[in-house]
């Protein structure tokens, strides 16, 4: 029972972040070593990797010790009271942004940007259709035209 | 002290064309807007608009970016005064007296004091830089690769120790940034960590990664926070005449303004410390020297003047390490260093030696920007007071979209927007778990430079570790590096002193 509570208190998201950083460090060290094991090649990568992995372990121990510490009841209550949508807001925005970036080669910067803005405004509670269409289309058109003029490369676009 | 040949070259550069000057006012306006909106940072504006400098020459690009920097320092004070929310971390001490002044109906005067203090601060910072840059460049040229490597590590340690709750987390962010900053072709010509992708041969696209970590990740974090002005703050009207009264009020305390300016330069020159600490040091010092320290925290205009002059002059201070060593001391200067790279210019000792007239031109232009800030700020105060009320739901997707456009513009292919996305999510995760984002970014930016300097040290020394003991400056820098691990405690004490003083003053009055 107590073990379950501790497991529940472990910040698994934080553990995942540490695991990703440690994983990338190990992969990079392995790849650098395989490319050349000379001192000249590993002079920074090897000590920095060892330091990064040591710090990963220290931070992981810190996360584990946080789980064993008695929870601050007032903080937990405050978190529970926060609406679910509010807590998920960053994740929703990140998901929308990821879809926007991935759609750029297919829908072009003009259409993707207008759609991204419209969807973001809708998610954020904006319900006035004229305002949503006006802001998203107007902004997308303005920025697309400005960047087409500014940057020296052809910009993927669908309509403009 | 001033190299007159380079200085006259700088005047020639600045006077030969109107083009560099055309970007200054738009830059100041962008900085003011981003600085005054809580949640949007000055460094965010610099990162988002960095790709726009691709089509500019180096001097114009520097003028544009430093104008955003200058504008942002004052912009941060506007929301601190009107809403008690510092628009930037450098305006924390401005809230101590700025907001109480607002509650007393003296917000116009507070805005006027903040504007004159920012102007004087900017001018002080760059005047001191103008005088110091030549002796500094002579000194810095004596540093070898070993010293440069230790300076990089020292700067990174300082930055890591000042941000984030946990030292080990922030050090991890810095070391991890340093490590991934070396991905791609090594200085020795070996390809590493590219996953077979041709896009990674030159390493990670630093600027899109920087935009992702500084700007996009912050926008994810604040999404859902409306930051709308509530209650009486919304109805606060700006009166031009009373702002002018505030300017006069600020000018009545020249010692506070100049002291804040000098403190800002000195504190701002230390990597990682910068304007977010300079305003607190200046505020504490002004209160300590005051005949009526109890009035601080109750709406004393000197408190606003001390804070704003220090945060504005710290910009000049932060340029010291950028110009002299090629090492950014914080988010804003990290973006300036990225602009150096984009224009194929290497920062550090070589920059001052070979491009002295450009360095002087940037300094002189910033002195002019200080004066322009006064007029642009005065004209825009009314607009800024209104813009703090714009809901973030319109701003967040707009800024994110502009970041995507800019990232594409930097790389010319989808590698830019993809890097932006990956590092935006990574930066958000770092923020969420209280790691230092600036440490990660600066590590990424300096990774290959650090490896190059270390490799050169190895080649010069022939691999002998005793070589370090033969170099007293390296030894001194290593001692400073170890000492800097105690820095968080010092800053914490300072913050407690600045905030505690106000609380005790407040409780004494009530």
Q: Tokens 């999404």 label which residue?
A: B223
Both tokens of residue B196? 């077979």
* Interface subset of B 36-55, CB within 8 angstroms of A: 51-52, 54-55
Whether this model's pTM surpasses 0.95? no
What dihedral angle (degrees, nearest 10) is formed by the CA atoms of B187, B190, B196, B197?
20
How crowded is residue B146: how many other Cβ atoms within 10 Å of its Cβ?
A: 23
How crowded is residue B386: how many other Cβ atoms within 10 Å of its Cβ?
A: 11
Whether the Cβ atoms of residue B321 and residue B293 lie closer than 8 Å to each other: no
- Per domain, the residue ranges of chain A are 2-79, 84-150
Q: How far apart are CA A116 and CA B211, in angstroms?
A: 19
Angle between helices B240-251 and B301-325 (to 10 degrees): 70
Both tokens of residue B417? 């927007």
Nearest to A43 among B220, B418, B454 (CB): B454
Q: What is the mean pLDDT of residues A88-103?
A: 93
Domain that holds residue B349: 4-227+238-509
DSSP, collapsed to helix, strand or coil, labels residue B184 as strand
Could B393 and A121 be called an inter-chain contact, meaning their C-beta atoms sit closer than 8 Å?
A: yes
- H or E element, residue B349: helix B349-354
Whether the Cβ atoms of residue B325 and residue B148 lie closer than 8 Å to each other: yes
Q: Which residues contact B6 (CB under 8 A, 6 or more apart)?
A: B356, B357, B359, B360
Nearest to B172 among A21, A90, A144 (CB): A21
Mean of the per-residue pLDDT values of chain A: 87
Residue B267: closest CA among B314, B306, B210, B319: B314
A28, closest residue in chain B (CA to CA): B193
Is pLDDT at A106 greater than 70 in this prediction? yes
The segment with the largest mean pLDDT, out of A26-35, B136-145, B181-190, B283-292, is A26-35
DSSP letter at B213? I
A14, closest residue in chain B (CA to CA): B433
Could you write out the three-class secondary structure of B432-477? Answer: HCCCCHHHHHHHHHHHHHHHHHHHHHHHHHCCCHHHHHHCHHHHHH
Nearest CA of chain B to the CA of A2: how many Å?
25
Nearest to A62 among B166, B178, B223 (CB): B166
B209 compared with B165, residue with greater pLDDT: B209
A51 CB neighbours in chain B (<8 A) are 175
Could A153 and B405 be called an inter-chain contact, meaning their C-beta atoms sit closer than 8 Å?
A: no
Which residues partner with B192 through β-bridges?
B184
Residue A101: closest CA among B407, B205, B43: B407
**Is the CB of residue B166 less than 8 Å away from at least one CB of chain A?**
yes
Nearest CA of chain B to the CA of A32: how many Å?
5
**Burial class of B59 by CB neighbour count within 10 A (0 to 12, 13 to 18, 19+):** buried
DSSP letter at B212? I
Nearest to A17 among B168, B188, B429 (CB): B429
Instruction: Specify if B114 maps to a domain.
Output: yes
Is pLDDT at A153 greater than 50 in this prediction? yes
Could B220 and A121 be called an inter-chain contact, meaning their C-beta atoms sit closer than 8 Å?
A: no
The segment with the largest mean pLDDT, out of A119-123, B312-316, B352-356, is A119-123
Could you write out the three-class secondary structure of A36-49? Answer: CCCHHHHCCHHHHH
Is pLDDT at B31 greater than 50 in this prediction? yes
Q: Provide the number of CB pairs (under 8 Å) joining chain A to chain B.
A: 170
Nearest CA of chain A to the CA of B397: how many Å?
6
Q: How far apart are CA B215 and CA B213, in angstroms?
A: 6
Give B381-421 pLDDT, tens digit per residue: 888 877 766 777 888 899 899 889 988 988 889 999 999 99
Q: How far apart are CA B347 and CA B329, in angstroms?
A: 13
Instruction: Specify if B233 maps to a domain.
Output: no
Q: Which residues contact A67 (CB under 8 A, 6 or more apart)?
A: A6, A7, A9, A10, A11
Angle between helices B331-342 and B58-83 (to 10 degrees): 160
A135 CB neighbours in chain B (<8 A) are 394
Q: Tokens 């529970």 label which residue?
A: A80
A124, closest residue in chain B (CA to CA): B393
Q: Tokens 């709406």 label which residue?
A: B299
CA distances from A16 to A19, B179, B329, B430 (A): 5, 19, 30, 12
Could A55 and B216 be called an inter-chain contact, meaning their C-beta atoms sit closer than 8 Å?
A: no
Whether the Cβ atoms of residue B46 and residue B218 lie closer than 8 Å to each other: no
Q: How far apart are CA B63 and CA B458, in angstroms?
A: 38
Could B169 and A59 be called an inter-chain contact, meaning their C-beta atoms sit closer than 8 Å?
A: yes
Least confident of A17-31, A52-66, B17-31, B268-282: B268-282
Residue B176: closest CA among A86, A125, A25: A25
Q: Which residues contact B467 (CB under 8 A, 6 or more apart)?
A: B146, B457, B460, B461
ipTM for the complex? 0.92
Could B190 and A32 be called an inter-chain contact, meaning their C-beta atoms sit closer than 8 Å?
A: yes
Q: Tokens 């372990």 label which residue?
A: A57
B166 CB neighbours in chain A (<8 A) are 59, 62
Which residues partner with B191 through β-bridges?
B185
Q: What is the mean pLDDT of residues B194-199?
A: 89
CA distances from B261 to B119, B267, B279, B386 (A): 10, 10, 10, 29
Instruction: Specify if B232 maps to a domain.
Output: no
* Interface subset of B 188-227, CB within 8 angstroms of A: 188, 190-193, 216, 219-221, 223-224
Q: Which residues contact A22 (CB under 8 A, 6 or more apart)?
A: A52, A53, A56
Taking CA B210 as the corner, what is the angle to CA B208 and CA B212, rounded to the nearest 5 degrees? 70
Q: How far apart are CA B322 and CA B315, in angstroms?
A: 11
Provide the phi-psi class of B227: left if phi over 0, else alpha when psi is between -120 and 50, else beta. Answer: left
Give A135-151 pLDDT, tens digit per residue: 999 999 999 998 888 77
Split at pLDDT 50, 70, 90, the class of B467 is: confident
Least confident of A91-95, B404-408, B438-442, B497-501: B497-501
Q: How many domains does chain B have?
A: 1
Could B180 and A59 be called an inter-chain contact, meaning their C-beta atoms sit closer than 8 Å?
A: no
How many residues are there in chain B?
A: 510
Residue A157: closest CA among A118, A95, A112, A93: A112
Which residues partner with B185 through β-bridges?
B191
Instruction: Please tell me the predicted confidence (pLDDT) of residue B83.
Output: 74
Which residues partner with B184 through β-bridges?
B192
């Amino acid at each position: 029972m107590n073990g379950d509570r501790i497991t529940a208190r472990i910040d698994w998201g934080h553990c995942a972040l540490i695991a990703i950083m440690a994983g990338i460090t190990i992969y990079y060290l392995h790849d650098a070593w395989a490319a050349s094991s000379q001192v000249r090649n590993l002079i920074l990568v090897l000590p920095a990797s060892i330091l990064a992995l040591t710090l990963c372990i220290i931070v992981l121990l810190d996360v584990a010790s946080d789980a064993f510490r008695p929870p601050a009841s007032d903080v937990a209550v405050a978190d529970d009271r926060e609406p679910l949508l509010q807590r998920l807001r960053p994740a929703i925005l990140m998901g929308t942004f990821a879809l926007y970036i991935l759609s750029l080669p297919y829908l072009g910067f003009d259409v993707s940007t207008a759609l991204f803005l419209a969807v973001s405004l809708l998610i954020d509670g904006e319900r006035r259709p004229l305002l949503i269409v006006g802001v998203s289309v107007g902004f997308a058109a303005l920025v697309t035209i400005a960047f087409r003029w500014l940057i020296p490369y052809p910009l993927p676009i669908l309509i403009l | 002290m001033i190299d007159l040949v380079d200085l006259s070259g700088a005047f020639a550069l600045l006077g030969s064309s109107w083009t560099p000057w055309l970007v200054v006012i738009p830059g100041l306006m962008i900085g003011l807007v981003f600085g005054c909106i809580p949640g949007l940072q000055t460094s965010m504006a610099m990162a988002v608009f960095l790709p726009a400098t691709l089509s500019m020459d180096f001097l114009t690009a520097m003028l544009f970016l430093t104008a955003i920097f200058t504008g942002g320092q004052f912009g941060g004070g506007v929301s601190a005064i009107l809403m008690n929310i510092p628009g930037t971390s450098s305006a924390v001490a401005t809230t101590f007296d700025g907001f109480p002044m607002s509650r007393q109906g003296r917000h116009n005067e507070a805005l006027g004091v903040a504007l004159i203090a920012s102007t004087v601060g900017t001018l002080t910072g760059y005047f001191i830089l103008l005088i110091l840059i030549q002796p500094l460049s002579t000194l810095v040229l004596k540093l070898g690769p070993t010293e440069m490597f230790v300076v990089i590590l020292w700067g990174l340690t300082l930055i890591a120790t000042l941000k984030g709750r946990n030292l080990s987390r922030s050090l991890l962010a810095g070391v991890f940034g340093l490590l991934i900053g070396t991905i791609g072709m090594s200085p020795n010509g070996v390809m590493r960590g590219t996953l077979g992708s041709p896009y990674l041969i030159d390493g990670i696209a630093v600027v899109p990664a920087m935009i992702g970590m500084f700007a996009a990740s912050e926008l994810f974090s604040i999404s859902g926070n409306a930051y709308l002005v509530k209650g009486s703050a919304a109805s606060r009207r700006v009166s031009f005449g009373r702002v002018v009264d505030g300017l006069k009020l600020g000018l009545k305390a020249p010692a506070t303004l100049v002291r804040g300016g000098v403190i800002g330069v000195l504190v701002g020159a230390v990597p990682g410390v910068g304007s977010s600490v300079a305003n607190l040091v200046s505020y504490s010092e002004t209160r300590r020297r005051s005949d009526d320290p109890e009035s601080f925290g109750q709406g004393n205009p000197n408190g606003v003047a001390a804070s704003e002059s220090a945060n504005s002059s710290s910009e000049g201070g932060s340029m010291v390490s950028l110009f002299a060593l090629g090492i950014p001391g914080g988010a804003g200067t990290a973006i300036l260093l990225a602009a150096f790279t984009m224009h194929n210019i290497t920062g550090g000792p070589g920059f001052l030696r070979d491009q002295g007239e450009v360095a002087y031109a940037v300094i002189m232009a910033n002195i002019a920007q200080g004066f322009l800030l006064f007029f642009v700020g005065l004209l825009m105060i009314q607009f800024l007071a209104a813009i703090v009320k714009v809901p973030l739901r319109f701003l967040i997707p707009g800024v994110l979209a502009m970041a995507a456009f800019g990232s594409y513009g930097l790389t010319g292919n989808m590698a830019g927007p993809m890097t932006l996305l990956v590092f935006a999510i990574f930066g958000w995760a770092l923020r969420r778990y209280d790691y230092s984002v600036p440490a990660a970014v600066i590590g990424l930016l300096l990774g290959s430079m650090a490896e190059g300097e270390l490799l050169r040290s190895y080649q010069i020394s022939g691999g002998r570790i005793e070589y370090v003991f033969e170099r007293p400056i390296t030894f001194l820098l290593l001692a400073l590096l170890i000492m800097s691990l105690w820095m968080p405690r010092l800053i914490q004490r300072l913050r407690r002193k600045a905030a505690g003083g106000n609380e005790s003053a407040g409780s004494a009055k009530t």
